[in-house]
């Protein structure tokens, strides 16, 4: 049975990244009627920022060569870090159990929102077994940051996310961007409305395609 974990990070309830995520989920469920779906709105239900205790979990995990949850549980009990682990463990379990992770995220200040970065900080451990999973990033950008655009070099969102998941062993990382979303509201970008709409239609088509092709089997932990 396929399992999908869906995260949203936009502060806007009617954001373009949420629109892309909604379409992905709709078509994924149609292609996987027996699949399991887990959702978390990182704005409505924010993850607790990391603290020294959570950082200690990371250090101890690496120092002791931890490779699985059960061994991590024992280490936590030994060092009295149950509270920090209680905030972290359920999120890691959701991620480990998912075949596919889909993230709807806007670009804020050329990178990801704090809500998403906080989730990443909370779940990351050196042994996190993500190899074999598929990750789909559905983003919205107010401007244009694609190849050849004047602000191409200011896109710190895609390189950051691609690097993060690659280091954790994910080879299948897909990005779908809706750009020039501000053309719908900002007078100085009004001339790009048609470009935005063309890109939006293409992004929605790509999302539908990806929803139908993600892997069917859960990788071994």
pLDDT of residue 83 exceeding 60, the answer is yes
The pLDDT of residue 215:
65
Higher pLDDT, 111 or 149: 111
Q: Which of 40, 220, 31 is nearest to 130 (CA)?
A: 220
Q: Which residues in 17-117 belong to E strands, given as ranges?
A: 36-41, 100-106
Looking at the DSSP bridge assignments, the partners of residue 39 are 6
Q: Which of 4, 7, 33 is nearest to 119 (CA)?
A: 7
Mean pLDDT of all residues belonging to the chain? 93
Per-residue pLDDT averaged across 188-206, rounded? 95
The pLDDT of residue 44:
97
Q: Are 140 and 178 in contact (CB under 8 A)?
A: yes
Residue 40, class by beta-carbon neighbours within 10 Å (0-12 exposed, 13-18 middle, 19+ buried)?
Answer: middle
Q: Model-level pTM?
A: 0.93
The pLDDT of residue 150:
86
The pLDDT of residue 218:
43
Q: How many CB atoms lie within 10 A of CB 180?
A: 25
Q: How many CB atoms lie within 10 A of CB 168?
A: 20
The pLDDT of residue 183:
94
Structure tokens at 77: 């009990």
pLDDT of residue 220 exceeding 80, the answer is no
The pLDDT of residue 216:
46
Per-residue pLDDT averaged across 68-73, rounded? 93
Higher pLDDT, 120 or 127: 120
**How much of the chain exceeds pLDDT 90, in percent?**
90
């Amino acid at each position: 049975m396929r399992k999908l974990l869906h995260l949203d990070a936009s502060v806007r309830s009617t954001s373009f990244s949420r629109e892309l995520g909604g379409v992905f989920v709709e078509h994924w469920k149609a292609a996987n009627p027996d699949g399991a779906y887990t959702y978390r709105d990182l704005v409505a239900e924010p993850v607790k920022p990391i603290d020294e205790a959570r950082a200690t979990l990371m250090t101890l995990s690496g120092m002791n060569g931890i490779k699985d949850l059960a061994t991590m549980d024992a280490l936590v009990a030994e060092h009295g870090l149950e509270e920090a682990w209680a905030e972290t463990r359920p999120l890691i379990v959701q991620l480990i159990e998912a075949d596919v992770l889909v993230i709807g995220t806007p670009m804020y200040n050329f990178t990801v929102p704090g809500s998403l970065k906080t989730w990443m900080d909370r779940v990351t451990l050196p042994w996190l077994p993500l190899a074999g999973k598929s990750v789909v990033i559905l983003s919205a950008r107010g401007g244009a940051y694609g190849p050849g655009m004047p602000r191409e070099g200011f896109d710190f969102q895609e390189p950051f996310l691609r690097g993060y998941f690659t280091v954790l062993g994910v080879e299948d990382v897909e990005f779908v961007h809706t750009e020039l979303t501000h053309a719908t509201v900002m007078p100085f970008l009004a001339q790009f409305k048609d470009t935005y709409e063309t890109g939006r239609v293409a992004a929605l088509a790509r999302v539908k395609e990806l929803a139908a092709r993600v892997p069917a089997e859960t990788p071994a932990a």
